[in-house]
Amino acid sequence: MTAPWKALLQQALASNTSPTSGWPTLATVTHDHKPRVRTIVFRGFIGDTTTSSDTDRVRWEDMLVFTTDARSAKVREIVGNGSGELCWYFPDTREQFRLTGTVRVVLPPHHTMRIHEADMPNSGVDWEELRKHHFHNLSPGARSQFLWPNPKQTRADTSGWVQAINDQDAQAISEALKNFSLLVFEVQGVDRLELREHPNRRLIMDKEDESWCVTEINP
């Protein structure tokens, strides 16, 4: 069954033209149960760039994709606890989506934490090909950050930092890919609030086995 929230989210993205409309906020939990939140950039659905041969194809193709540095603290947090929530507000249409679910990390080959992909079995998705696709889809400037020094270290002289990685820079691409990873978000529940209407409208969409239960509730 196609997820009922997907068309609503796609419509919101199409109706809100500001680049910031593609920047939801992701909340996760640390190993010592402290909340962590950050703004991330939506890169599309898995089904936008690949197809799955698995019978559970719809489940995988509806997952949301984001990018991150494999050295970042959030990767360790997500490996330890994959529970997450996205809060996504669209100012033009005045609607908010809160998506709860599971976050998984697609790490470079041979990464010490790559075992985390074990809970993506038999998906029929070529995760390494998907990872490379999203890296090459970045601008040269965005690619360069994956060759910068480790996140959260004391800032040093930036004069030697790479400013751009072009398609012809094979060695730089190879090195940057060692630090490039994907975040894949599987949605299990959605809370959608429409503020433009008065009274406001609120829908709850929960996944139950392979189907979705949609309930309209008071805002």
- Tens-place pLDDT, residues 113-131: 765 554 565 567 888 999 9
The mean pLDDT of 10-30, rounded to a whole number, is: 97
In the block, residue with structure tokens 């949301």 = 64
* pLDDT for residue 124: 75
**Pairing state of beta strands 83-90 and 180-194?**
unpaired
Q: What are the residues whose beta carbons fall under 8 Å from the beta carbon of 115, sequence distance 6 or more?
A: none
Contact predicate 147/173, CB 8 Å: no
When pLDDT is cut at 50, 70 and 90, the band that residue 111 belongs to is confident
Give the whole-number percent of the chain exceeding pLDDT 70. Answer: 89
Residue 5 phi/psi, 5-degree rounding, is -75, -20
pLDDT, tens digit, 9 for 90 and up, residues 161-217: 999 999 999 999 999 999 999 999 999 999 999 999 999 999 999 999 889 999 999
- pLDDT score of 58 more than 80: no
pLDDT score, position 119: 58
pLDDT of res. 118: 47
Mean pLDDT of the chain: 91
How far is residue 134's CA from residue 111's CA, in Å, rounded to a whole number? 18
Predicted confidence at residue 204, as pLDDT, reads 98
Beta carbons of 63 and 41 less than 8 angstroms apart: no
Q: What is the pTM of this model?
A: 0.91
**Confidence at residue 61, expressed as pLDDT on a 0 to 100 scale:** 86
Instruction: Give the integer Cα–Cα distance in Å for 21 and 88.
Output: 8
How far is 9 from 11, CA to CA, in rounded Å?
A: 5
Residue spans of the domains in the chain: they are 4-217
Q: Per DSSP, what are the bridge partners of residue 101?
A: 84, 187
Per the CB < 8 A criterion, the answer to whether 190 and 215 are in contact is no
Cross-strand pairs, 103: 185
Q: What is the mean pLDDT of residues 72-78?
A: 94
CB count within 10 Å of CB 118 equals 8
Digit-coded pLDDT (tens) for 31-48: 999 999 999 999 999 988
Q: Which of 1-5, 67-71, 122-126, 147-151 has the lowest mean pLDDT?
A: 122-126
Calculate the CA 78 to chain-centre distance.
12
At 165 the pLDDT is 97
d(CA 138, CA 165): 10
Percent of the chain clearing pLDDT 90 (strictly above): 79
Q: Is the pLDDT of residue 66 over 70?
A: yes
Predicted pLDDT at 157:
86
CB neighbourhood size of 41 (10 A): 14
Was domain 4-217 assigned CATH 2.30.110.10?
yes
Q: What is the pLDDT of residue 53?
A: 55
d(CA 47, CA 6): 12
